[in-house]
Structure 1
Amino acid sequence: MRPHTPETGTKTPASGTAPGPADEAAALPLLTADRILTAIRTHTDADNPSAFLALNEEAEHFTSARADGVVVFRRCGGYAVQFGGPFAPRRDYRTLLHEFVRFADRSGLAPVAVQLQRHDAEIYADSGFTVNQIGASYAVGLAAFTLRGTRFMQLRNKIARARRAGLAVAETDAAACRAALREIDAAWLASKGAHARPLEFLVGRTGGRGQPYRRLFLGAIDGRPIGYISYSPVAGSRPGWMHDLSRRVPDGPPGVMEAVNSAAIDTFRAEGVRWLHFGFTPFTGLREEHEVPGHSQGLRWFLRHLEEHGEAVYPARTQLAYKRKWAPDVLLPEYAAFRGGASLAAFAHIFRAANAF
């Protein structure tokens, strides 16, 4: 299937006057999904398992005539919050990065990057950014994966409990169950409190131009949909799928998400899929040996404090506990980069860009 293709063209100033330097800096081409997909599939040096988030509709895409590739970012306050490093061939990577920084300067935006991989982190540090590890992503090799053994006993029990409650899981088309997904989303969000808001930009979604490339597994009891997991494609050295967006109704039985994911794993293994990724979780997997030269000791202390005591800020421990149930084989450190010195304001705008607050 082919993706929905957005309108092509260029963002232009609202007025009818000729654009000035600031307007030219703000004018970016609206790239088709095909072009974005080509960049994230072809230029895989960064090996970013979350690269498919580049198709999120709220993202902007910077390109340059001087270099091949795409930079993905979102404007937030006075910042250009960049997702991942440039998706570019090695020969053009630094050129595209420098062109993007110049674009940000002309636009009056301070560049800050998040979810950089180690390859990106080293180049950013060498380019004058302050780079710190801010979390990690996790992956499970599926070739030899099994739920047998004592370490998976509790997980098997939760899955069995959901199945005894009548849970049936099937892969389905998102367009065919759009109303059910909206109902699940609304119930899930309501359970998070009056001020909760859905995350965006740095998390997956259902629908939109990327949907034809995703896979959706839906759990239902007596025909009532009660939970789902959306999986996004992953290229690079660990190709497979990423456990991207998951939602469930609060009154469902325990083990719904575990049972849905187990069914998806069975399907993926039967197809010969090599890896299942669990995506990025901030404030987890922080280790001194993962830091790059020149990192901020102050920010490192702050992040370690959030790792220990930051559950009220972000439910990192809850997310990590779920991921650890599947005994990940690989921990991949992920980084944030700040032009010049690290600042709490820039760090906060990463989460503002994701609609976290």
Structure 2
Amino acid sequence: MIGRNLRKYCSIGDIKLVYYEKGTGDTVLLIHGNSMNSIMMKKMFNYLSKFYHVVAVDSRGHGGSESGKRAYSIELFAEDMVEFCRNKSLNNIIVIGYSDGANVALRIASSYPDLARKMVLISGNYNAQGLKWLIRIPALFIKLIMEIIKKIFPNTRFTLWKINLLLSNYGITEKDLEKINTDILILAAKYDFIYRKHQIEMSRYLKNAHMYVIRGTNHINIIVSRRTFNIIKTFIEREDLIKNNNVIEQSQKDRVRNYVMQYGQNTISYLVLDNDKQYYFGHKVEGIAAFTVVAHVVVCCGDVICQTSNVKCFLLEFISFCEQNRYSLVLIDVSEKFLKIYESMGFEYVKCGEDAMFEFSNWNLKGGKIAKVRAAINHANKLGIDVGEYEPLKCRDENIESEIDGITQLWKKGKHGGLLSFILGGAELETPCDRRYFFARDTSGKMLGFVVFIPFEGGSGYLADVTRRIPGAPQGVIEKIIYKAFMKMKSEGVKWGSMGFAPLVNAGSNGRSFIIGKILNFIYENLNGIYSFKSLYHSKKKYAPTQWESRYIVYHSRIFTPKIGYAIVKAINPQGILSLVRRKKL
């Protein structure tokens, strides 16, 4: 048990720090909060020391540690902790910081990224604005008083320094957070001193951040909650939640891809590999859910990805995770395959559109329904437009990739507003993996457009995910690319093609939420000035799909709340609906 019998001393720079040490195994460094000491975290120390080598350090001027002559700052405390670890030859550690200690840990992650492999930030904030005014106003008042007292009693400057820690920014910006690659768990109290919005923003800026809200806790008792201890232990020993990004360990990225290629039946399943997703991994069964968090709503990209026989078990785990964190749960662009299972688990659903599907064995250019596409392709043929496939995994070509990027940039400029994402992908040439790239050139060799296809059903089908062409491209460029790509895939044994999601087509015609269905149908019929729902539908319809598959919004709630609606829109269009309005006006 933490106490005087475990007290030790370490000299660093101009001061001597007090620390406590116990246990064996992976090293866990505990950093307490403002005006505290390590003994105040004894319950956490005692619990974790059963499993790990735990070191708790009294910060400069706190507990038994000396103050030194320098004014306190988060940066100085971080320097002290790093120097302490170097002195004790501690590396590749797990850092757990509470309150201001969390801010110190964040500073360590930013300035000394090689020290820790994992961090737990308990009730922390990356700048002073994250602290609620309920705390900041009294702190400002006390600071004014202490400034006066300090003139009479100079030693009170130490107290003033501690108060300044609450009111001063820590030199950490949003850009600094985005550069941090450490695996981080953010724990927030249900009734915290930190704004929840601030904590959520912090979790989204950090590449590998996972956030839990501990029910029944406040800023004070969160460090003595058994639930807090269990979640920390789980985080240290397991990697249940990761956020996919360019610095993710290759083994983990392969793990996600393997799940997708083995179980990803939804046409957009492959998009879970994109960088705007977080993952929940099943404990008892293999499976993942790819999601983002908006306004405390977990928005999932398509269906959960797991074996059909394991869907119920996986959903139980995932629902439990959401409830533990007081998250609402909604899945968007969901196929019919698991719909009955979702319904049996208490989900409501509403049809939100249809996917244009092509069974290659029954699809060709014959007939009146596909006459427009046939005419466009004939026009492209007369102009001598040729279609080829770029295979970056076989041989990289910087010129081709530069052309693709150039077309993408021109396309973005033409949008004049927010770009849709989450259920729509990009070229992703840095990590092409299983994507296929088809492009068209004119007789002079100029690239006129390209289409990126992503696999579903283990590669037995491909979705035309990204279609781009240069401004003023001749008629038939995209049509010929898609036709040639589909025919090549058919010759290789691929069974299905997809032109993707047509939002709000026949919305509400098959679902349990009558009112929401009516609202979605009204939007489709009357708000094409905001988004071209009908134009998008007809652009897919002209290819004469062999069938249209229904897609659904599935939500774990009795009613479809405005917050769920907002979260869906924000996830798909992070810039908000106003950006779509601005884009239309321009």
Letter of the structure 2 residue corresponding to residue 260 of structure 1: I
More moved, 158-167 vs 23-32: 23-32
Structure 1 residue 242 and structure 2 residue 457: aligned?
no
Helix, strand or coil: the match of 1:218? Answer: strand
Q: TM-score, normalised by structure 2?
A: 0.54
Partner of 1:229: 451
Distance verdict in 2 for CA 1:162–1:121, change over 3 Å: same
1:219-277 superposed Cα distances (whole Å, 9 cap, x missing partner) = 122222121100111116x9221111111112111221111111112212222321111
* Selected match of 1:184 from 397, 401, 407: 407
* Selected match of 1:300 from 509, 514, 517: 517
8 Å Cα contact 2:363-2:546 kept in structure 1: no
Structure 1 residue 354 and structure 2 residue 572: aligned?
yes
Helix, strand or coil: the match of 1:104? Answer: helix
Partner of 2:486: 265
* Selected match of 1:255 from 471, 476, 500: 476
Partner of 1:202: 423
Partner of 1:133: 351
Q: Structure 1 residue 353: deviation in Å?
A: 0.8
Helix, strand or coil: the match of 1:213? Answer: coil
Structure 1 Cα separation of the partners of residues 390 and 120 of structure 2: 49
Structure 2 Cα separation of the partners of residues 184 and 275 of structure 1: 27
Structure 2 Cα separation of the partners of residues 180 and 149 of structure 1: 35
Distance verdict in 2 for CA 1:298–1:257, change over 3 Å: same
Partner of 1:7: none
Q: Structure 1 residue 319: deviation in Å?
A: 1.9
1:21-40 superposed Cα distances (whole Å, 9 cap, x missing partner) = 54763862357232112222
Partner of 1:103: 321
Aligned length: 339
More moved, 200-209 vs 15-24: 15-24
Helix, strand or coil: the match of 1:143? Answer: helix
Distance verdict in 2 for CA 1:315–1:126, change over 3 Å: same
* Selected match of 1:61 from 279, 300, 322: 279
Structure 1 Cα separation of the partners of residues 95 and 277 of structure 2: 13
Q: TM-score, normalised by structure 1?
A: 0.86
Q: Structure 1 residue 162: deviation in Å?
A: 2.5
Partner of 1:170: 388
Helix, strand or coil: the match of 1:139? Answer: strand
1:284-323 superposed Cα distances (whole Å, 9 cap, x missing partner) = 14363x32xxx22210111111221232233222221121
Q: Structure 1 residue 108: deviation in Å?
A: 4.2
Distance verdict in 2 for CA 1:209–1:111, change over 3 Å: farther
* Selected match of 1:283 from 487, 504, 511: 504
Higher Cα radius of gyration: 2
1:142-200 superposed Cα distances (whole Å, 9 cap, x missing partner) = 123221333333222111222333422111135522221221112112223x2x23222
More moved, 226-235 vs 268-277: 268-277
1:34-53 superposed Cα distances (whole Å, 9 cap, x missing partner) = 21122223335xx3122111
Letter of the structure 1 residue corresponding to residue 350 of structure 2: N
8 Å Cα contact 2:95-2:120 kept in structure 1: no
Helix, strand or coil: the match of 1:191? Answer: helix
Distance verdict in 2 for CA 1:95–1:209, change over 3 Å: farther
Helix, strand or coil: the match of 1:272? Answer: coil
* Selected match of 2:439 from 218, 222, 225: 218
8 Å Cα contact 1:33-1:209 kept in structure 2: no
Helix, strand or coil: the match of 1:125? Answer: helix
Structure 1 unaligned segments of length 5 or more: list them: 1-9
* Selected match of 1:39 from 234, 259, 276: 259
Letter of the structure 2 residue corresponding to residue 190 of structure 1: K
Letter of the structure 2 residue corresponding to residue 60 of structure 1: Q
* Selected match of 1:145 from 363, 367, 385: 363
Q: Structure 1 residue 103: deviation in Å?
A: 2.0
Correspondences of 1:3-14 after superposition (within 5 Å): none
Distance verdict in 2 for CA 1:11–1:52, change over 3 Å: farther
Distance verdict in 2 for CA 1:19–1:66, change over 3 Å: farther
**Higher normalized contact order (CA 8 Å, seq sep 6+, divided by chain length):** 1
Distance verdict in 2 for CA 1:240–1:338, change over 3 Å: closer
Distance verdict in 2 for CA 1:314–1:120, change over 3 Å: farther
Partner of 1:314: 531
Structure 2 Cα separation of the partners of residues 96 and 334 of structure 1: 21
8 Å Cα contact 2:96-2:120 kept in structure 1: no
Distance verdict in 2 for CA 1:209–1:122, change over 3 Å: farther
Distance verdict in 2 for CA 1:88–1:272, change over 3 Å: closer
Structure 2 Cα separation of the partners of residues 12 and 190 of structure 1: 45
8 Å Cα contact 2:287-2:307 kept in structure 1: yes
Helix, strand or coil: the match of 2:424? Answer: coil
Distance verdict in 2 for CA 1:24–1:131, change over 3 Å: same
Structure 2 Cα separation of the partners of residues 312 and 210 of structure 1: 36
Helix, strand or coil: the match of 1:74? Answer: strand
Structure 1 Cα separation of the partners of residues 535 and 307 of structure 2: 37
8 Å Cα contact 1:60-1:74 kept in structure 2: yes
Partner of 2:550: 333
Structure 2 Cα separation of the partners of residues 334 and 139 of structure 1: 12
Partner of 1:6: none
Structure 1 residue 76 and structure 2 residue 294: aligned?
yes
Structure 2 unaligned segments of length 5 or more: list them: 1-93, 106-118, 123-186, 189-209, 214-234, 236-240, 245-251, 577-586
